[in-house]
Structure 1
Amino acid sequence: MRSVNFDGYRLEDGVLWLEGAQSQARLEAYAGGYWRLLVWHRSRDAGKGSWVVRRPEAVPIEAEPEAAGLRLRAGAAELHLRLAPFGLDWAGLALADLQVDELPTWTTDAAAVAEAVAGVGAVRETEDGHALGGGYALHLQERDGRRYFGLGERTGFLDKKGRRWLNWTADAFEQQPKDDPLYQAHPFLIAFDEGQARGLFLDESWKSAFDLAFREPGRSRIAVEGPTFDLWLVPGPEPAAVLERFTALVGRPGLPPLWALGYHQCRWSYPDEDSVREVVRKFERHEIPLSALWLDIDYMDGYKVFTFSPHRFPDPPRLVRELAEKGVRVVTIVDPGVKKEAGYSVYESGRKLDAFVKNRREEELVGEVWPKPAVWPDFSRPEVRRWWGEQHRPLVEAGVAGIWNDMNEPAAFAVEGDEVFGIGKTLPSDARHGERLHAEVHNLYGLLMSRATHEGLAHLREGRRPFVLTRSGFSGIQHYAWVWTGDNGSYWEHMAMSVPMLLNLGLSGVAFCGADIGGFRGDADGELLARWTWLGAFYPFMRNHSAKTSRRQEPWAFGEPWLGHVREAIRFRYRLLPYLYTLAEEAVRTGQPLMRPLFYHFPNDPEAAAVHDQFLLGPDLLAAPVLQPGARRRLVYLPEGGWRDFWTGAEQAGPAWVVAEAPLDRIPLWQRVGSALPLSVPEPPAQAHWDPLIWRVAPAAHVLGAAYLDEGEGDGAGLRVRLTGRYDGSRLLVTQEPVTDGRAWLELVGADEPRRASAPFEYEDGRFRVELQAGEAWVEW
């Protein structure tokens, strides 16, 4: 690769343009403190758009010469620029040594494509086997103590420094702890040091790589295969500020239906109506709450999407109504592979629209996935997305409540008669999406499919909130779908890996995510299932899912005492629903994740930044899951402030490392002192009006809590309720505003028996509860 130098610059309408012999660039500034650097080869124009960015209001740049180059200002934002050699200094980050590869992998000429991007876009192979030729690379000077977070769904620990990460969505069935890439591509990075967070978003759908001090300990490298290098600088300085600004840029989720936050049960497969009914009957028999049951690929007629098997599911609307009467929704899987079969309405209507991806001969690209033969819709085209959304009508008319998009990297078992090998088993990079190569569209495929599904459900189920789960996605996927981490295994190591994986998804903007509880492949046992279900009670998305080759792992699969432990974990999830739903509404407004690493709220605590095996749920609950078999206690880090053991009420001041007791019937859990957590009873609610609403208070001089109330469905207005309080060591007074129609209770754990209270109260073994009257309650000791 050759270094890029710029010979001159000009300011035009508040935009800085850079001129060089081989490349051109422009710098733009936007309200909120964003900067955008776009570099392109001189053979291309500067009109690159974006699949995901919602541009803020532009702010004019002012340039002032200085010894090393230019000092740029845009409102309160500032950076320093060097032309030759090119470099940027911004918010403590030194970006320099921009390089370009002269091999044009972005050409659409068939012969050049065949030579340059055959297979997976390779021009040459790097040391780890990943092709990274033909594009741009920018280097980042390292500093001692810097950590990196984000990059979406990744194996390994929370801090992503020290490895090379590839953005290329892949069907990672046999994922191992060091595997990369996986199903998602998120070229978004949070650089964190000295308590400061800054975001770097590479808005490029081509294959890209983030080498984070792997090859050279003193510097990192961001590289892309493609004709442009489009980098957004997202300011902090707090981690929450970075997430708020980044999600404002690429999109935030809609408020989910309330049932989506409950417990879900899935298996590959419940193959017929009788097996579905039997599973639901067992949930009732064992008194385990259930919000949704999922149908995997075997519900279809010969793997033809948008169909039901007429033999195994002869009357889907009746089955769905039966389950709905029990409060259980049905979610069905839909893959992108469409069976190429004459007379099949989905294929015929798609063929008429010319909706499918083409090969280099401009013919339908035909391959194999679950259906054989199969073709793949070209979701890069708006008319194809509208057509796909309409195909969901039979499922919606049957009463299906949500859609599960799988195999959408896209995965392929064979293409045009040849078995697929290489990274992720996918379509060839020279496949055609209109005028675009698959090499450019590949990372977007899951996002665009999810968009088509979401928009289709919004149209077909008007007045109800779309629910879509996806395996594959790109930055901004959270606007259209929830994410699960794919085909994990029934191993303690995979349960442990799910914590940093989900935390980094949250730090990449994906607030609603989860991992298959119990593990998808392999064989769980009772202890693993119990511990994982307790951890899963704190996932934003809580689903038990296993493969047909695996041992059964429904909650009752291993008998007692495991059934009792799993049941209590699921019931606890329903107690948490008011808090989870309130956090969900916050994610919609601000982009904040539900699961948060400790440094998120304690950025100046160096111990917190190193913790990868415990997390915060919102700001006020700290969970420390048990991740090893046989363990009955574990070491836990409590950051600065006061913390109350959720189960006993015992108070502990932080920062401190403590040894926590961890019996099988619960998870080590702490509540932040001064918080009021909204809880309810352990039953699936019909609406998010929480009757009763139970305020679990950890007393302090000042107490604060919030709860979000609405219908749990639709687009009607909601109500945010606040609880405030004061505690002087002998008297606690709390006030709820506004007062709601349902019952509200004040609850304390670990309290002495009061002398008196504002109303008749319950007290037993340190647990105190009194009803709020006219929105108030007080207690005296």
Structure 2
Amino acid sequence: MQIQTYPDGFDLLLDGRLVLRHRSDAPCLFIGQGDARMDMYRGNFDIEDYVIERTPLSHAEVSGTGDEFEVSLCAAPGQPARLTLVISGSHCDGVIFFNSLDPSINRIWLRVVAGKNEHVWGGGEQMSYFDLRGRRFPLWTSEPGVGRDKTTEITFKADVAGKAGGDYWNTNYPQPTYVSSRRYALHVETTAYSAFDFRQAGFHEIEVWAVPDRIELTARPSFPGLVEAISERFGRQPPLPEWLYGGAVIGLKDGSRSFDRLETMIAAGVKISGLWCEDWVGLRHTSFGARLFWDWQANEDRYPGLPQHIAELASRGIRFLGYVNPYLAIDGPLFSEADAAGYFAMDDKDKTALVDFGEFECGVVDFTNPEAAEWFAERVIGRNMIDFGLSGWMADFGEYLPLDVHLANGVDAKLMHNAWPTLWAEVNARAVEKRGRTGDILFFMRAGFTGVQKYCPLLWGGDQSVDFTRHDGLVTVISGALSSGLLGNAYHHSDVGGYTSLFGNVRTAELIMRWAEMAAFTPVMRTHEGNRPRDNLQLDQDPEILAHFARMTQVYVHLVPYLKFLVAEASTRGLPVQRPLFLHFEADARTYAIQDVYLYGPDLLVAPVWQSGKTEWSTYLPEGSDWIHVWSGRTFAGGREATVAAPFGQPPVFHRAGSRFAELFAGLRNL
């Protein structure tokens, strides 16, 4: 870290990279005030800001030497300073601390130097665009939306019906961290609403609706080294459980019939590691259809004799998984217990705040109250779930904290909203750790924010539509895995076949089969019946689909020796299992903007068929290696596109020539 001073400003360099350039006629920092309107409707947000003041801090005075400098900033010479920066660090890591001298400031805009032809990635889990350059990305945890493309009919209908259409930047898991092709990363330490704007050629603008605690800068000479440093900063996940390598986790929510359906799949040759029944808590019937009963304990009526079923499955190497979220329905016994103890967030009248989830209301367990967090971890997750026999669960929601509640820690809910997913992950992780089951129990989350990496062992991509659409279909899962993976989330997966079925949009056999092909080359294969199981095609309703899925689970299990190698790399180095092409082919600039192809570890290249009606598929193969098509054995030169046949069951997958796993990969042709 180095500061070079000039009569009218300064330059900040990180390991030789120019990061900030401040001149009196081109300041890098603006401060001001804004008045925001933020409305929530069932996890969807309508947000707008009225900017009262935006003042350039044109005059800077720099003091200090060596590894620490102080920059005092004001609008013009002779005026009192309104903000100071303390900048410290080594040649490749640095921190900028912010100190506001004006209590009226609640907006910060910082301009970071942009390079010519620079690419930028990260921002949490971004589903539409992997390369963020050229667009603005608000960073606020929310429902991602249905369709996520304002030009489509389904997005329009979702907006009209429930303000739920979403846009390209909506995500369950935002994070104010980006990675630059200039081989540095920038992280803003704040939980406030913020936005990254990459639309300008000469600078990136960071907007924060508060004075941030600090900005962290990290540079490394290589992309793998940079990702290792990022994962070390935010935390690394434990290895995947050994039991998971037995095959797919099958999602069924059909009460006791789920066990019979599972046997049908086993008889068809499906390799299975777990049965996931989110309806283990029972159902609530509403005008919208069947909903889960949000009181987190087994429902004997829907799953009679469940402990015996769990034990019988376990004797065959199959684990049982369930579902939980951080809300408690008012008509369940756990609500009364938590309410009596004062464990809920409060409303303006100092009473338990209730949230309407559509014909039933729930309390929000206040995880800023240490006693409430411990109660949920021990009483709900520990006793009702782990001790009952569950080996994992979907830890749903996390992005729904209302903005008008009052919390035990006294912090405004608008500042806690983004932090909530991380608190929710910590509650789950604490329950698992207390039972000594870290690395054996597997819970998975869709919501996230800074620090979720330390607690959540597995991400899932959220609620994609059951289709091939560009902004909400199969292909978005790849971008989500790659963007979150760069920020220290080593393991990612998705609902095979998608989840959201609305306005007549239903699954096709082609979609399920193509999704299963991709899932076989991810850390975890897991199916889901979707939000409308009766309206949508399921695996066990079509013999052809079931046979295809069985084969893809065999592919997954065949690759377990390689997956275990990748899990070891994730544990020791923090490298994600699914990787962008440029992570191992830095010299090939053509790889920097590719988001529909990924490396499965260093040696396998996977190019899922994500469009309908395709029987062959073309993909770019990075320069620097020859590539062998795993199904035909043909060799293709890198640095150009390759076109291969892509019948069902043979997704376009290539391995590096000379890989030490070449024999294992060649064995795929015999399945």
* TM-score class normalised by the smaller sequence: 0.7 to 0.9
- 1:555–1:602 Cα change, 3 Å: same
Q: Paired residue for 1:286?
A: 268
Q: What's the CA shift for 1:294?
A: 1.3
Shift in alpha-carbon separation, 1:371–1:337, aligned structure 2, 3 A: farther
Distance 2:65 2:443 in 1: 44
Name the structure where helix makes up a greater proportion of residues: 2
Instruction: Give the 3-state SS of the residue equivalent to 2:540 in structure 1.
Output: coil
Contact 2:353 2:405 in 1 (8 A): no
Using structure 2 for the length normalisation, give the TM-score: 0.80
Q: Provide the residue aligned with 1:502 in structure 2.
A: 481
Secondary structure in structure 2 of the residue aligned to 1:351: helix
Residue 25 of structure 1, aligned match among 79, 85, 104: 85
Comparing 537-546 and 428-437, the one that deviates more = 428-437
Q: Partner residue of 2:196?
A: 210
Does residue 1:358 correspond to 2:346, yes or no? yes
Give 1:541 deviation, angstroms.
Answer: 2.6
**From 561, 581, 602, the counterpart of 1:598:** 581
Partner of 2:57: 4
Map of 1:37 onto structure 2: 96
Instruction: Confirm whether residue 199 of structure 1 aligns to residue 185 of structure 2.
Output: yes
> What's the CA shift string for 1:66-120, capped at 9, x where partnerless?
xxxxxxxxxxxxxxxxxxxxxxxxxxxxxxxxxxxx4x5xxxxxxxxxxxxxxxx
Alignment of 1:163 onto 2:135: yes
1:185 is matched with which residue: 149, 161, 174?
174
Cα deviation, 1:353-388, whole Å, max 9, x if unaligned, reads 432222244432222237833111222343332222
1:229 offset after TM fit, Å? Answer: 5.0
Which of the two has higher C-alpha Rg?
Answer: 1
User: Which residue in 1 is equivalent to 2:206?
Assistant: 222
**2:92 aligned partner, one-letter code:** G
C-alpha distance in structure 1 between counterparts of 2:602 and 2:485, whole Å: 14
Identity, in percent, stands at 23
Q: Secondary structure at the match of 1:291?
A: strand
Question: 1:207, 1:749 → 2: CA distance?
Answer: 47
Letter in 2 for 1:197: R
Aligned CA distance change for structure 1 residues 368 and 381 (closer, same or farther; 3 Å)? same
Match of 1:498, SS state, is: helix
Q: Alpha-carbon deviations, 1:639-676, whole Å to 9, x = none?
A: 12122221232222222212112121211111111211
CA distance, structure 1, for counterparts of residue 632 and residue 614 of structure 2: 20
Does 1:581 pair with 2:555? no
Deviations 1:467-511 (A, max 9, x none): 221121112322222111111111112112222221111112211
Greater relative contact order, per chain length (Cα 8 Å cut-off, separation 6+): 2
Contact conserved, 2:128 with 2:169, CA < 8 A, in 1? Answer: no
Distance apart, 1:8 and its partner CA: 3.8
CA distance in 2, matches of 1:11, 1:281: 71
- The separation in 2 between residues aligned to 1:40 and 1:281, in whole angstroms, is 62
Say whether 1:138 aligns with 2:198: no
Q: Does residue 1:608 correspond to 2:595, yes or no?
A: no
In structure 1, distance between residues paired with 2:590 and 2:362: 51
1:488 aligns with 2:541: no
Q: What is the rounded CA distance, in whole Å, between the counterparts of 1:496 and 1:439 in structure 2? A: 32
- Cα distance, 1:258 vs structure 2: 2.1
Q: Does structure 2 retain, via aligned residues, the 8 Å contact 1:248–1:591?
A: yes
Q: Which residue of 1 aligns with 2:49?
A: none
Q: What RMSD, in angstroms, separates the aligned Cα atoms of the two structures?
A: 2.5
Paired residue secondary structure (2:275): strand
In the other structure, the counterpart of 1:407 is 397
Write out per-residue CA displacement over residues 93-150 of structure 1, whole angstroms, 9 at most, x where no aligned residue: xxxxxxxxx4x5xxxxxxxxxxxxxxxxxxxxxxxxxxxxx32111123333111111
Cα deviation code 1:221-272 (max 9, x no counterpart)? 11111132521111123221111111111111111212335544455x6142
Task: Report the Cα distance in structure 1 between the residues aligned to 2:373 and 2:327, rounded to whole angstroms.
Answer: 14
**Structure 1 residues 516 and 457 mapped into 2: Cα distance closer, same or farther (>3 Å)?**
same
Letter in 1 for 2:484: L
Give the aligned partner of residue 431 of structure 2: 456
Cα distance in 2 for partners of 1:324, 1:617 equals 30
- CA–CA separation in structure 2 for the residues paired with 1:254 and 1:339: 32
Q: Per the alignment, do residues 573 and 136 of structure 1 end up closer, same or farther by CA in structure 2, a change over 3 Å counting?
A: same
Contact 2:126 2:174 (C-alpha < 8 Å) held by counterparts: no
- Assess, with a 3 A threshold, how the Cα gap between structure 1 residues 241 and 353 changes in structure 2: closer, same or farther: farther
Residue 45 of structure 2: aligned partner:
none
**Gap regions ≥5 residues in structure 1:** 45-101, 105-133, 411-425, 679-694, 698-746, 751-766, 768-781
| 2:482 corresponds to 1:514 | no
Aligned to 1:319: 309
Choose the corresponding residue for 2:450, options 446, 450, 475: 475
1:525 aligns with 2:514: no
Unmatched segments (≥5 aa) in structure 2: 1-53, 74-80, 150-166, 285-292
- CA shift for structure 1 position 455: 1.1
**What is the SS of the residue equivalent to 1:210?**
strand
In the alignment of these two chains, the number of paired residues is 573
User: Aligned with 1:350: secondary structure?
Assistant: helix
Shift of 1:22: 1.1
Secondary structure of 2:611's aligned partner: coil
The answer to whether the 8 Å contact 2:239/2:439 transfers is no
Q: CA deviation at 1:618?
A: 0.5
User: How far apart are the structure 2 equivalents of 1:433 and 1:286?
Assistant: 53
**Alignment partner, residue 325 of structure 2:** 335
Contact 1:614 / 1:624 at 8 angstroms: preserved in 2?
A: yes
